């Protein structure tokens, strides 16, 4: 938010202009009107929130914006201003403590940010000024400066590459810290710039800063004396982003275009919106109830006070005269202050410490996730990562799991399986016998042992070798990258020379490697010419003319190359659906069969096509492409138009099948999640057949599952229009899955393995967009609700052909549906970020597709299989822990304050506190806080192994089961029961206050101390009863805090404290312990108040399968859990 | 709490969770395989089942019922005699005193009540005065004292705490002891006479020491400048509380029981918990083993009626009680213990029944799962 404000400040007026003009090297240009040095923001990165001066006010302001803190502040102020029963210290001290700790934590974090900022801002960079290189601090770079960057340095701001030390005017860059892609990307200098940068006079016109890392549009005007100014288009390939690192290039010069907070990197780090967990919402609801209790208590007391006082002689008996000031006060004002006083007296019912404890529990608890060695993946040498600790308990509440397919369910570890050339199937085997490396299998399709012609084969393989954007890693370059190349290298030692390929997509590597197995080796790209080694070990060279990049809309890519002989060829590869319409129809049929069969086997298929371009055709395409690339506006659209125009009339030469293996234990994990009552939805950009086969492989769909398909294919109908058919199908499916299904019992008791027909639902992106945005607005809500109802009754849903944004749309739709279920998204790639951010819990997989997903996730795990433990064990435990923590906190404060409320009836509604101020303050901070904190960190009411073995246990806590109104009511009633018991038990004892064997009597403070002692012991023992997992820490903390209470009471009553105005508790505790009656009443009250709890635990019928297993553990004996080595 | 925001350190490729969670150290190294970090600490896992709880119920029942009976018997054996001498009733001997009460009267009003004890009080007898509808626990009242003054602090003697208002100063002199509690000290004098069958009255000797907590008497309450035995001189510049008849240094003739360390005063200063309360007044010590402390027979109680309670509809009473190890007479504890013990025992029986009848079936029904 702050950054946005900053941007606005930096941007200033020029924000209104669509583009900015930059004078390279601040040199005025001859042609244009007078040189106006426009103001841009400087290159300082400010990520810190505070400065030394504004820290205190600003931090305090932000902290008191929280409702809870503000409430406590108000209470504190009331105590300071109004004459209240308890001293301001009792609420001021805890509040001060909380505020200070938070401030210190935030201050420290900000300090780190300052340090990091300084490191970046004070970094020395070389700037060319008037022909000299000047060392400057990074923050002093201005837009228009020409900056020098040497190898392995990061770029200090966004630069347009002007000059590179490499011959071909390129430089290599890794953007690992930006988007996680560790491959080397090639960036190009602006063509035709002068060798001598000093003589370069140019302006750059480019768009205003925007966060998209992969988009940049600009134009450079180069002015040369006595020449027309040359115009060059600038694209993302010319832009070097701040944060990226220069690799493999000695040094480069570039001109700064965006600086400081306007760099793409800074714009990309917009703070994530904070997610709130369901537990937090419950807390707020309970808080409201308690606030009502609090206010009604205060109102009741105030009313009764004035009723009582109206009786003669009660208000001001002779022994208890009011002060003059009190007498003078206005009656209504007095009523109001009385009300406030009661509020203050009872305010402990809403404890400050609960917030602290909850935060601490979340913060400390999340360490168990990072520490879990089961989440450690030896391959990437990393464990789980927790980005937010606010959502720990949400992991135990997940109802819908949205998973990506590629890289999440599958390994994204591509392996070339087979290909089909001209209708003939070629299956590669490791042990091939034939010289040329081909093995022809007799597929079911092709009974005859046939091979396509030699020519076709070679054309197909050349196409595989040429049509890609793979780079060959230079020998002897960084070691780090060797691991990054591909998993295949390690798994399968290759006979050919080790060769590292770098590509943005693993498919491409798999294809290039596949071609390699068949004898065609891609040697690399050097100054626009691609070299391949053919089967005869001859080097063939092709001049790379154009790359028509891959994009998810077109779902294909092409290259245009020129052979030695001067022929111009276009090779295109892409998804079947995008290739088939663009080739000759008669070629399609032969290959379609293969493609479909491969797809059902779960392979990723690509079709390869080619086209020979005549000189004229090429000339047209060339100019079209160049023009489109120069366009400042709508460049994307124009490019796509040209691409589509070029990629027509091709001839299909073959198809490839690449296997994407399932993740380890993917099926088991999915089964466990379904068993836990979660609905798993697969959202993928992949095609339906592939995705479906993955779903079968993962056992999301089973043999008995009836599939309801809602795709473009099923929508095709001669009679009806698409939308009508859609409505028809929706209604039919709805009848099947929703209306005919026997009504399922709501809640956790629902049995999963009913004999009901399981339904699986399949929808594709195009159909989804019709569902979401039908032609008639009126239908929208109807379609949506039908769709949702069907989905909710299906065990698994597969959404294929999804665009990233559609994924988020689906998540949002489910999230906002009836009952607002808790959703979880898991994915590994940049295309999953939107759904990760949208879902309640976002999980990133530290996969191959960069770190985008990890960075935007709430939790990151190395493998899909870890999701099972994360949800079933960690999530379950965290939920139980925090739910118990919350309920317990409200309960213990209710029975803490209830006696105090009841005491008002016996002290003339005078707001006399029952307990001493020290007890009031320390109750929540010291005496009862540690046991519950330890409980909420360590409790395992069911051991982790059992939780993992019985996924159904997860359902017992579904729908926020422990924080619903029923359990809340139970806890509240328990608190009320105990509070009444404490107060009246002691009240009856005090009907004769001579409790000592020497006839001496006890006073009001003894009364309070007895109640308080019973309270502390009962509340702690109640927790002890609830604890199912007694580690030494629990023992230490529970018995320790009871001992501490006793010790403290002795100590507090043992000394005449000089700073206290009244020595109320002097020897009260010791005297109490010298009275046998006090002991007896304490014991009986504790036992009596715990009795219903014990009874309930015993009588509650043990349910579910775990009870049996738990009983197997010998009761009342130490169970030493064996460590798994 | 951990709201992630852009932090500049991420530029170097350290993607540390913003608040240092999962920092680089954890990221790159394998997590420690310690029992604590893996949540595998050895643990005791008690399970409350009918089987485990049953014996506990029986034991509680078996212990509590005898204790309860013991308590009940003890409480019943305590002899207690109570007499109301407020004088609200026309027939009461103190009616006149209560009617004609005035703060300014110089001659004390006396009245005598006659009563008889049906049973002899064998051991030491404790004499209490009881007040009803007297809110000693009213907040305004409870805080109206200055403990440092009572602790002998010279400065507080001259400059009492603000809390004592409106009983802080009188005629520009600081009041000692200040505050509403001290001001309203109970000042009736009670004397007890035994009336022989032949009509002669013998006064029963009282002991007035040992009625306050030892620590109060010796530590919490102290006379200012204890080196000076002349209390009159010590309190020279102070005023007596408004409603007192005599200044604080004339409470008793015994220097060990005078001034702030007067035990009647200390007892009064320990504010009662409830509006109906009793406070220890005197102790009647047992003379020898042969004769009871208070034999059966007739007694007269002579009251010097100084303390007005009618204005707030209060009641005054005198209580004679013997004391046991559990304190004064109070059947509550005994009844409570017997009840709880019986409930536990009963529940034990019920649970035993349930356990016996349903325990096996539960186990068998689980097996098909």
State how far the Cα of B67 lies from the Cα of A800, in Å rounded to an integer. 75
Predicted confidence (pLDDT) per residue in B198-210, tens digit? 989 999 999 998 9
Cβ distance of A1115 and B51 shorter than 8 Å? yes
- A297 in a labelled binding site: no
ipTM computed for the complex: 0.91
User: Which candidate in B3, B4, B6, B342 is best for mutational testing of the A interface (most A CBs within 10 A)?
Assistant: B6
Checking if the pLDDT of A109 tops 70, the result is yes
Q: If residue A671 lies in a helix (H) or strand (E), which one and from where to where?
A: helix A666-675
Percent of chain B with pLDDT over 90: 50
pLDDT value at position A594?
82
- Cα-based distances in Å from A8 to A11, A117, A164, B68: 5, 20, 34, 79
Does residue A832 have a known ligand-binding role?
A: yes
- A436 - beta bridge partners? none
Q: Touching check for B309 and chain A: CB below 8 Å?
A: no
Q: What's the pLDDT at A1118?
A: 37
Of residues B307 and A4, more confidently modeled: B307
Distance from CA of B195 to the nearest CA of A (A): 26
Taking chain A, what is the end-to-end CA distance rounded to the nearest angstrom? 49
- Given A109, A851, A943, which is nearest B19 (Cβ)? A109
Are residues A1108 and B363, on separate chains, in Cβ contact within 8 Å? yes
CA distance A277 to A258: 38
pLDDT at A986: 95
Per-residue confidence (pLDDT) for residue B21, from 0 to 100: 38
> For residue A181, what pLDDT is reported?
54
User: Out of A366, A382, A1080, whose CB is closest to B333?
Assistant: A1080
pLDDT value for B29: 62
Read off the DSSP letter of residue A415. Answer: E
Give the pLDDT confidence of A988-1035 residue by residue, as tens digits: 999 999 999 899 999 999 999 999 999 999 999 999 999 989 999 999
pLDDT of residue A988: 95
Report which DSSP code applies to A871: I
From the list A390, A404, A576, A660, the catalytic residue is A404
Mean pLDDT over residues B13-21, rounded? 36
Query: Within 13 Å, how many C-alpha atoms sit on residue A703's CB side?
Result: 0
Of A119, A389, A988, the CB nearest to B332: A988
Task: Give the separation between CA A587 and CA A391, rounded to whole angstroms.
Answer: 54
- The response to whether A685 counts as a known ligand-binding position is yes
Does the beta carbon of B136 lie under 8 angstroms from any beta carbon of chain A? yes
How many CB atoms within 10 Å of residue A824? 30
In which element (H, E) is residue A1018 found?
helix A1004-1026
Residue found by looking up tokens 């304190």 in the block: B327
Nearest C-alpha in B relative to A1082: B333
Q: Which of B11, B64, B128 minimises the CB distance to A177?
A: B11
Residue that has been written with the tokens 């954007």 in this structure: A469
Give the DSSP H/E element, type plus range, for residue A660.
Answer: strand A651-662
Q: Is the pLDDT of residue A543 over 60?
A: yes
* Closest Cβ opposite residue B4 in set A388, A906, A1030: A388
What percent of chain A clears pLDDT 90, i.e. is strictly above it?
19
- Structure confidence at residue A273 (pLDDT): 58
Check B18 against A109: CB less than 8 A apart: yes
- pLDDT band at residue A442 using 50, 70 and 90 as cut-offs: very low
Residue B323 has pLDDT above 60, yes or no: yes
Whether residue A1063 and residue B147 make contact (CB cut-off 8 A), yes or no, is: yes
Q: Which residues contact A439 (CB under 8 A, 6 or more apart)?
A: A426, A427, A428, A429, A432, A433
Query: Does A410 count as an annotated binding residue?
Result: no
Contact yes or no for B192/B127 (Cβ under 8 A): yes
Q: Does A484 touch chain B (CB under 8 A)?
A: no
Average pLDDT over residues A325-338: 87
Inter-chain CB proximity A1061 and B327 less than 8 Å = no
Chain A residues closer than 8 Å to B347 by CB: 1091, 1095
Report which secondary-structure segment, H or E, holds A1078. Answer: helix A1076-1099
Dihedral angle, C-alpha A984, A986, A987, A988, nearest 10 °? 90
Round to whole Å and give the CA distance between A664 and A862.
11
Q: Which residue has the higher pLDDT, A858 or A18?
A: A858
From chain B, the residues in CB contact with A1004 under 8 A are: 136-137, 142, 271-273
CB contact under 8 A, B13 and A176: yes
- In contact, A600 and A590? CB cutoff 8 Å: no
Indicate if the alpha-carbon torsion angle A712, A713, A717, A718 is positive or negative.
positive
Spacing of C-alpha B46 from chain mean position: 39
Predicted confidence at residue B125, as pLDDT, reads: 93
| Angle ∠(A343,A348,A354) on CA atoms, nearest 5 | 135
C-alpha dist (Å) from residue A581 to A449, A578, A588, A617, B166 = 30, 6, 9, 20, 100
Full DSSP string of A508-577: HHHHHHHHHHTT-EEEEEETTEEEEE-TTS-EEEEEEEEEEEEETTTTEEEEEEE-TTS-EEEEEEE-HH
Q: Given this model, what pLDDT does residue B341 score?
A: 95
A848: confidence class by pLDDT, cuts 50, 70, 90:
low
Q: Is A686 annotated as a binding residue?
A: yes
Helix axes A929-938, A876-903, angle to 10 degrees: 160
Asked, as a colleague might, if the bond just before A522 is cis with ω within 30 of 0, I would say no
Cα angle A1004, A1006, A1009 (rounded to 5 degrees) comes to: 115
- Return the CA Rg of chain A: 37
Pairwise CA distance, residues B86 & B101, whole Å: 12
- Which residue in A has a C-alpha nearest to residue B147's C-alpha? A1062
Buried/exposed code over B213-229 (b: 16+ C-beta within 10 A; e: otherwise): bebbbeebbbbbeeeee
Cα–Cα distance, B204 to B169 (Å, whole number): 40
Is A44 assigned to a binding site?
no
At A126, give phi and psi (nearest 5°).
-100, 130
Alpha-carbon distance of A173 to A246, in angstroms, equals 5
Residues of A numbered 143-172 whose beta carbons fall under 8 angstroms of chain B's beta carbons: which are they?
Answer: 154
Whether A319 shows a pLDDT value over 60: the answer reads yes
Per-window interface: A 1008-1027 vs B, CB < 8 A: 1008, 1025
CB atoms A1028 and B213 under 8 Å: no
State the residue for tokens 């979660």: A678
- How far apart (Å, rounded) are the C-alpha atoms in residues A543 and A527? 9
Does the annotation count A949 as an active-site position?
no
**1-30 in chain A: CB under 8 A from chain B:** 3
Interface of A with B in 280-319 (CB under 8 A): 313-314, 317-319
Distance in angstroms (rounded) separating the CA atoms of residues A691 and A688:
5
Interchain CB distance below 8 Å, B354 and A176: no
Cβ separation of A387 and B136 shorter than 8 Å?
A: no
Residue A57 main-chain phi, psi, to 5 deg = -60, -45
pLDDT for the residue B116? 93
**Where residue A548 falls among pLDDT bands split at 50, 70, 90?**
confident
A101 touches chain B (CB under 8 A): no
B139-198 pLDDT, tens digit per residue, is 999 999 999 999 988 888 999 988 888 899 988 899 989 999 999 999 999 999 999 989
pLDDT in tens, A261-314: 888 777 765 445 567 777 888 888 888 899 999 999 999 999 999 999 888 778
Q: Which residues of A touch B280 (CB under 8 A)?
A: 994, 999-1001
Say if A749 is an interface residue toward chain B (CB within 8 Å).
no
Which residue from A274, A912, A1034 is facing B138, i.e. has the nearest CB? A912
Express each pLDDT in A587-619 by its tens digit.
788 788 888 777 766 677 888 888 888 888 888
Residue A831 assigned to a binding site:
yes
Compute the distance between CA of residue A78 and CA of residue A256 in angstroms, rounded to an integer.
Answer: 57
Select the residue of A177, A389, A1102 nearest B13 (Cβ to Cβ). A177
Digit-coded pLDDT (tens) for A884-927: 999 999 999 999 999 999 999 999 999 999 999 889 888 988 89
Tell how far CA A585 is from the center of its chain.
Answer: 46
Please name the helix (run of DSSP H) or strand (run of DSSP E) that holds residue A610, with its range, or none: strand A603-613
Q: Chain A: residue nearest B144 by CA?
A: A320
Tell me which residue of A384, A554, A563 sits closest to A465, measured CA to CA. Answer: A563
Minimal C-alpha gap between B197 and chain A (Å): 30
Q: Which of A1026, A874, A888, A926 is nearest to A365 (CA)?
A: A874
Exposed, middle or buried, B70 (CB in 10 Å: 0-12/13-18/19+)? Answer: middle
Cis preceding linkage at A534, omega within 30: no
Structure-model confidence comparison of residues A948 and A49, the more confident one: A948
CB contact under 8 A, B184 and A320: yes
Which pLDDT band holds residue A5 (cuts at 50, 70, 90)? very low
State the pLDDT at residue B75: 94
Given CB atoms, is B53 within the 8 Å cutoff of chain A?
Answer: yes
> Taking CB atoms and an 8 Å limit, are A1033 and B41 in contact across chains?
yes
- Residue B146 pLDDT: 92
Model pLDDT, residue A13: 42
**Inter-chain CB pairs, A–B, below 8 Å:** 380
pLDDT of residue A674: 87
User: Which residues in chain B touch residue A116, judged by CB atoms under 8 angstroms apart?
Assistant: 7-9, 11
Best to test chain B binding among A383, A1003, A1113 (most B CBs inside 10 Å): A1003
Question: What's the pLDDT score for residue A492?
Answer: 37
Q: How confident is the model at residue A38 (pLDDT cuts 50, 70, 90)?
A: low
The answer to whether the CB atoms of B7 and A47 lie below 8 A apart is yes
Q: Is A58 annotated as a binding residue?
A: no
Q: What angle do CA A814, A785, A747 make, to 5 degrees?
A: 60
**How far is the C-alpha of B280 from the C-alpha of B303, rounded, in Å?**
16
* Per-residue confidence (pLDDT) for residue A269, from 0 to 100: 58
Answer for the pair A799, A684: CB distance below 8 angstroms, yes or no.
yes
Q: Which of B26, B64, B283 sits opposite A370 (nearest CB)?
A: B26
The partner residues of A607 in beta bridges, in order of sequence, read: A574, A655
Best residue of A1098, A1107, A1118 to probe chain B, by most B CBs closer than 10 Å: A1098
Residue pLDDT, tens place only, A716-736: 766 677 777 788 888 888 887
Task: Please give the average per-residue pLDDT across B16-40, as a whole number.
Answer: 60
Is the pLDDT at A327 greater than 80, yes or no? yes
Query: Comparing C-alpha atoms, which of A905, A1083, A1066, A917 is closest to residue A1010?
Result: A1083
Which residue, among A660, A51, A696, has the nearest Cα to A406 in the 3D structure?
A: A660
Q: How confident is the model at residue A1119 (pLDDT cuts 50, 70, 90)?
A: very low
B10 touches chain A (CB under 8 A): yes
Q: Is the predicted pLDDT of residue B3 greater than 50, yes or no?
A: no
């Amino acid at each position: 938010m702050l950054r946005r404000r900053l941007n606005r400040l930096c941007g200033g007026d020029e924000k209104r202009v669509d583009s900015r003009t930059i004078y390279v090297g601040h040199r005025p240009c001859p042609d244009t009107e007078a040189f106006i040095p426009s103001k841009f923001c400087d290159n300082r990165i400010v990520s810190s929130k505070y400065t030394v001066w504004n820290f205190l006010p600003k931090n305090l302001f932000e902290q008191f914006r929280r409702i809870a803190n503000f409430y406590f502040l108000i209470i504190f102020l009331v105590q300071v201003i109004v004459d209240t029963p308890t001293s301001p210290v009792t609420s001021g001290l805890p509040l001060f403590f909380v505020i200070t700790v938070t401030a210190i934590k935030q201050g420290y974090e900000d300090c780190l940010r300052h340090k990091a900022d300084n490191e970046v801002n004070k970094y020395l960079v070389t700037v060319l000024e008037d022909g000299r290189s000047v060392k400057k601090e990074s923050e002093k770079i201005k837009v228009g400066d020409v900056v020098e960057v040497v190898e392995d340095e990061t770029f200090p701001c966004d630069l347009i590459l002007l000059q590179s030390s490499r011959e071909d005017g390129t430089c290599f860059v890794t953007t690992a810290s930006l988007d996680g892609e560790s491959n080397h990307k090639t960036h190009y200098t602006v063509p035709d710039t002068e060798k001598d940068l000093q003589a370069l006079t140019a302006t750059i016109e480019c768009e205003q800063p925007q966060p998209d890392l992969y988009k940049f549009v600009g134009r450079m005007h180069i002015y040369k004396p006595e020449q027309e100014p040359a115009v060059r288009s600038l694209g993302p390939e010319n832009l070097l982003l701040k944060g990226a690192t220069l690799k493999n290039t000695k040094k480069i010069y570039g001109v700064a275009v965006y600086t400081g907070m306007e760099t793409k990197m800074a714009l990309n780090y917009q703070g994530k919106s904070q997610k709130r967990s369901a537990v937090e919402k419950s807390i707020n609801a309970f808080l409201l109830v308690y606030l009502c209790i609090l206010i009604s208590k205060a109102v009741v007391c105030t009313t009764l006070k004035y009723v009582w006082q109206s009786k003669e002689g009660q208000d001001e008996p002779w022994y208890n005269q009011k002060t003059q000031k009190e007498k003078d006060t206005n009656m209504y004002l007095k009523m109001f202050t009385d009300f406030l006083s009661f509020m203050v007296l009872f305010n402990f019912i809403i404890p400050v410490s609960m917030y602290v404890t909850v935060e601490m529990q979340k913060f400390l608890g999340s360490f168990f996730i990072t520490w879990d060695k089961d989440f450690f993946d030896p391959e990437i040498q990393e464990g789980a990562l927790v980005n937010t600790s606010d959502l720990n308990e949400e992991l135990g509440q997940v109802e819908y799991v949205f998973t990506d397919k590629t890289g999440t369910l599958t390994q994204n570890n591509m392996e070339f399986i087979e290909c089909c050339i001209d209708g003939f199937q070629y299956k590669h085997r490791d042990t091939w016998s034939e010289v040329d490396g081909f093995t022809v299998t007799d597929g079911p399709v092709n009974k005859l042992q046939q091979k396509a012609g030699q020519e076709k084969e070679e054309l197909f393989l050349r196409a595989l070798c040429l049509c890609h954007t793979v780079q060959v890693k230079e020998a002897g370059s960084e070691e780090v990258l060797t691991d990054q190349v591909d998993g295949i290298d390690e798994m399968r030692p290759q006979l050919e020379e080790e060769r590292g390929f770098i590509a943005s997509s693993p498919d491409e590597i798999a294809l290039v490697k596949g071609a390699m197995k068949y004898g065609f080796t891609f040697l690399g790209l050097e100054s626009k010419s691609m070299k391949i080694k053919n089967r005869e070990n001859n080097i063939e060279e092709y001049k790379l003319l154009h790359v028509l990049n891959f994009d998810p809309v077109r779902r294909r890519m092409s290259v245009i190359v020129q052979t030695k002989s001067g022929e111009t060829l276009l090779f295109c590869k892409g998804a079947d659906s995008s290739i088939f319409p663009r080739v000759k129809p008669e070629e399609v049929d032969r290959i379609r069969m293969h493609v479909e069969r491969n797809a059902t086997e779960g392979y990723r298929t690509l079709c390869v096509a080619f086209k020979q371009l005549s000189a004229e055709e090429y000339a047209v395409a060339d100019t079209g492409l160049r023009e489109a690339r120069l366009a400042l506006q709508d460049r994307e659209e124009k490019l796509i138009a040209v691409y589509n125009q070029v990629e027509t009339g091709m001839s299909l030469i073959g198809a490839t099948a690449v296997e994407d293996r399932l993740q380890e234990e993917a099926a088991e994990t999915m089964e466990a999640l379904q068993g836990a009552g979660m609905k798993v939805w697969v959202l993928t950009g992949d095609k339906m057949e592939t995705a479906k086969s993955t779903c079968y492989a993962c056992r999301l769909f089973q043999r008995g599952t009836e599939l309801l398909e809602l795709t473009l294919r099923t929508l095709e109908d001669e009679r009806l229009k698409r939308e009508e058919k859609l409505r028809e199908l929706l209604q039919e499916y709805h009848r099947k899955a929703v209306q005919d299904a026997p009504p399922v019992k709501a809640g956790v008791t629902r049995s999963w393995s009913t004999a009901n027909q399981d339904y699986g639902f399949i929808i594709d992106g195009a159909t989804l967009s019709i569902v979401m945005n039908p032609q008639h607005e009126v239908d929208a809500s109807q379609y949506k609700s039908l769709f949702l109802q069907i989905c909710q009754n299906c065990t698994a849903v597969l959404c294929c052909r999804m665009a990233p944004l559609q994924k988020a749309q689906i998540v949002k739709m489910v999230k906002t549906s009836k009952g607002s279920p808790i959703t979880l998204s898991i994915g590994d790639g940049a295309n999953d970020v939107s759904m990760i951010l949208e879902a309640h819990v976002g999980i990133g997989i530290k996969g191959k597709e960069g770190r985008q997903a990890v960075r935007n996730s709430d939790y990151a795990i190395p493998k899909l299989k870890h999701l099972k433990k994360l949800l079933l064990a960690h999530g379950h435990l965290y939920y139980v822990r925090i739910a118990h923590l919350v309920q317990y906190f409200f309960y213990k404060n209710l029975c803490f304050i209830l006696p105090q409320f009841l005491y008002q009836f016996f002290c003339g509604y005078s707001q006399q506190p029952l307990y001493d101020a020290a007890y009031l303050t320390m109750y929540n901070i010291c005496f009862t806080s540690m046991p519950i904190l330890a409980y909420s960190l360590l409790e395992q009411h069911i051991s982790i192994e059992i939780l993992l073995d019985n996924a159904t246990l997860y359902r017992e806590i579904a729908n926020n089961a422990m924080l619903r109104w029923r359990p809340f009511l139970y806890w509240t009633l328990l608190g009320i029961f105990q509070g009444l018991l404490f107060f009246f038990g002691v009240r009856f004892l005090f009907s004769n206050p001579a409790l000592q064997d020497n006839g001496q009597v006890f006073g009001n403070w003894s009364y309070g101390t007895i109640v308080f002692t019973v309270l502390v012991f009962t509340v702690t023992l109640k927790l002890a009863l609830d604890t199912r997992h007694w580690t030494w820490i629990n023992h230490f903390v529970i018995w320790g805090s009871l001992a501490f209470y006793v010790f403290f009471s002795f100590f507090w009553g043992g000394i005449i404290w000089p700073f206290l105005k009244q020595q109320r508790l002097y020897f009260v505790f010791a005297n109490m312990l010298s009275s046998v009656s006090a002991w007896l009443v304490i014991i009986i009250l504790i036992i009596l108040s715990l009795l219903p709890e014990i009874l309930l635990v015993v009588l509650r019928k043990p349910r579910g399968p775990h009870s049996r297993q738990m009983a197997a553990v010998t009761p009342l004996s130490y169970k030493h859990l064996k460590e798994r080595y | 709490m951990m709201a992630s925001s852009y932090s500049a350190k991420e530029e170097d490729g350290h993607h540390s969770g913003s608040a240092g969670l999962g920092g680089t150290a954890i990221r790159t190294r394998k997590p420690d395989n310690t029992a604590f970090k893996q949540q595998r600490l050895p643990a005791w896992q008690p399970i409350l089942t009918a089987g485990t709880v049953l014996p506990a119920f029986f034991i509680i029942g078996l212990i509590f019922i005898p204790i309860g009976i013991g308590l009940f018997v003890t409480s019943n054996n305590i002899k207690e005699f109570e007499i109301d001498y407020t004088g609200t009733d026309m027939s009461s001997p103190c009616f006149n005193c209560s009617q004609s009460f005035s703060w300014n009267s110089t001659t004390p009003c006396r009245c005598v009540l006659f009563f008889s004890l049906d049973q002899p009080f064998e051991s030491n007898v404790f004499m209490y005065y009881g007040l009803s509808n007297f809110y000693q626990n009213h907040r305004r009242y409870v805080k109206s004292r200055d403990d440092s003054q009572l602790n002998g602090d010279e400065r507080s003697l001259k400059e009492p705490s603000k809390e004592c208002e409106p009983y802080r100063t009188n005629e520009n002199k600081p009041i000692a002891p200040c505050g509403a509690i001290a001001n309203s000290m109970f000042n009736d004098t009670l004397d007890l006479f035994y009336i022989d069958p032949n009509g002669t009255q013998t006064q029963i000797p009282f002991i007035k020491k040992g009625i306050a907590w030892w620590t109060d008497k010796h530590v919490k309450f102290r006379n200012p400048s204890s080196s000076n035995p002349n209390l009159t001189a010590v309190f020279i510049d102070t005023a007596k509380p408004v409603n007192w008849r005599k200044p604080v240094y004339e409470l008793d003739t015994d220097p060990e029981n005078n001034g702030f360390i007067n035990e009647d005063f200390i007892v009064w200063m320990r504010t009662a918990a409830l509006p109906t309360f009793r406070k220890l007044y005197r102790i009647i010590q047992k003379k020898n083993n042969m004769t009871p402390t208070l034999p059966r027979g007739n007694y007269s109680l002579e009251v010097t009626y100084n303390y007005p309670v009618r204005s707030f509809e209060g009641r005054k009473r005198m209580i004679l009680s013997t004391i046991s190890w559990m304190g004064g007479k109070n059947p509550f504890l005994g009844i409570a213990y017997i009840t709880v013990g019986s409930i536990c025992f009963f529940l034990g029986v019920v649970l035993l029944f349930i356990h016996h009848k349903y325990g096996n079936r539960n186990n068998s029904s689980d097996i098909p799962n």
